[in-house]
Amino acid sequence: MRFRRPFLVLAAVLTGGPATLLAQSSPDGPVAPKPPAAAWYEKFRIRGYGQIRFNRLFESNPALQCEQCDRSWGDNGGFFIRRARVIIQGQIHPRVAIYLQPDFASTAGATGHVGQLRDWYADVGIDASNEFRLRIGQSKVPYSFENLQSSSNRLPLDRADATNSANANERDLGVFFMWAPKPIRDRFNTLVNDGLKGSGDYGVFAIGAFNGQTANRAEANNDLHVVARLSYPFAVGTQIIEPSVAAYSGRYVVTADQRTTGVKGRSDWNYADQRVLATLAIAPKPFGLLAEYNVGVGPEYHPQRDSIETRRLHGGFVTAGYLIRRNGQVVIPFSRWQVYEGGKKHERDARSHSVNDVEVGVEWQPNPAFELVAEWYHGDRRFEDKLRPSNRQAGQLFRLQAQFNY
């Protein structure tokens, strides 16, 4: 009988016997079962936002327009879906994150509400903490704080011409190396998640190469663009101040579908495309400021010569806002002044622009899922191409936007 108890214990172990018996044999108590690994589809989350606008209240000049800003400005404009975004993202591996964003409010010819790719990239970590990483795919080019800032976070309804003229839709297809220490990566994310109008995490230092013909357009000259950016968010007391500098260089081809028949230009339609930029961003705690200025050269229509030429460009903007939080709601009054002299390479005939605009508005967030922006705009714009070689328009309008966050 003295061998009976050891025999029973051995039998229970070999046959997967009662858990209580196994628990008694473990000095540390019961062993919790290991949870199953998450399936690949459980590592993704879906979010997005939509924007609906009406721009024609108190409009003084229906000929005042801005193609890149908002196609519903001016004559025959009405209610307009400016953006309809669905974002699918996930950390599918400790060193690999995927980000996919289509927009269902794009325009193709005369057809609106067309689905079109905005982002599709992977962030591939080089080290275990992902402080060093490669971004591979179609993404925002790391140039200009306001370009990198999501349209769901920006205060003015449209991006400034001076910096947004660098890249249509702010994006292109390429490979970008980014580096930032983990505490600074966390700070970049906090500026967005806490409603402080951050630009997102594009690294303290970024450098890369991209096609240069802008998003969703094929390479046209076997000459890649290169870009570099340096940015650091300093904590000064309770405030965060982020200065940055950036530059890019390449050559841009004004392709046949972007030219009016008969317009003159280089035989290969290949033009220098180079810029340098300086930025100062102050998070709204409660007062905020964003100032950017860039200079460079690029293709631009010359009205007197009826020709697309390489010409100098320069311009920038200053945006100021004041963040007010009351009873779970957010109110941010803001204003912006912007100027720009130069071309927009992606528009018809690399359209020539001269811009001097002032905007004053307020953003109201009664809850995290809904925002309303009211903005008064006064503009003095010259925008000229072969079909409109002498075209300067000035006026004002009152704009409204409803935004849904989900």
Say if CB 257 and CB 350 are below 8 A apart: no
pLDDT at 23: 41
CA distances from 245 to 124, 215, 293 (A): 25, 23, 10
Contact 55, 14 (CB under 8 A): no
Note the pLDDT of residue 6. 43
Alpha-helical runs (H) found in 310-367 = none
Distance, CA of 29 to CA of 178 (rounded, Å): 47
Asked whether 283 and 229 are in contact (CB, 8 A), the reply is no
Is residue 184 within 8 A of residue 206, CB to CB? The reply is no
Alpha-carbon separation of residue 243 from 6, 61, 142, 185, 296 (angstroms):
73, 38, 14, 16, 20
Q: Determine phi and psi for 40, rounding to 5 degrees.
A: -60, -40
* Three-state helix/strand/coil letters over 178-215: EECCHHHHHHHHHHHHCCCCCCCCCCCEEEEEECCCCC
Cα separation, 25 vs 220, in Å, equals 72
Q: What is the pTM of this model?
A: 0.90
Could you tell me which of 170, 161, 104 has the C-alpha nearest to residue 139? 170
Q: Report d(CA 153, CA 398) in Å as an integer.
A: 20
Q: What is the pLDDT of residue 28?
A: 58
- Burial class of residue 193 (count of CB atoms within 10 Å of its CB; 0-12, 13-18, 19+): exposed
> Residue 333: what pLDDT?
99
**In this predicted structure, what is the pLDDT of residue 110?**
78
| Cα 137 to Cα 99, 134, 140, 202, 256, distances in angstroms | 10, 10, 10, 14, 26
Separation CA 253–CA 273 (nearest Å): 10
Q: Is the peptide bond before 36 cis (omega within 30 degrees of 0)?
A: no
Nearest 5°: phi and psi at 209? -130, 145
Other beta carbons within 10 angstroms of residue 237's beta carbon come to: 7
Domains parsed from the chain with CATH numbers: 1-35 (no CATH), 36-405 (2.40.160.10)
Tens-digit pLDDT string for the chain (406 aa): 444 444 344 344 334 444 443 344 445 567 778 888 888 788 999 999 999 999 999 999 999 999 999 999 989 999 999 999 999 999 999 999 999 999 999 987 778 899 999 999 999 999 999 999 999 999 999 999 999 999 999 999 999 999 999 999 999 999 999 999 999 999 999 999 999 999 999 999 999 999 999 999 999 999 999 999 999 999 999 999 999 999 999 999 999 999 999 999 999 999 999 999 999 999 999 999 999 999 999 999 999 999 999 999 999 999 999 999 999 999 999 999 999 999 999 999 999 999 999 999 999 999 999 999 999 999 999 999 999 999 999 999 999 999 999 9
Structure letter (DSSP) for residue 13: H
Query: What pLDDT sits at residue 27?
Result: 52
CB 155 within 8 A of CB 201: no
Q: Give the position of tokens 């858990």.
A: 19
